[in-house]
Chain A
Amino acid sequence: QKEVEQDPGPLSVPEGAIVSLNCTYSNSAFQYFMWYRQYSRKGPELLMYTYSSGNKEDGRFTAQVDKSSKYISLFIRDSQPSDSATYLCAMSQDSNYQLIWGAGTKLIIKP
Chain B
Amino acid sequence: EPEVTQTPSHQVTQMGQEVILRCVPISNHLYFYWYRQILGQKVEFLVSFYNNEISEKSEIFDDQFSVERPDGSNFTLKIRSTKLEDSAMYFCASSDTDNYGYTFGSGTRLTVV
Report if A and B associate in a common complex: no
Q: Which residues of A contact B (CB under 8 A)?
A: none
Q: Which residues of B contact A (CB under 8 A)?
A: none
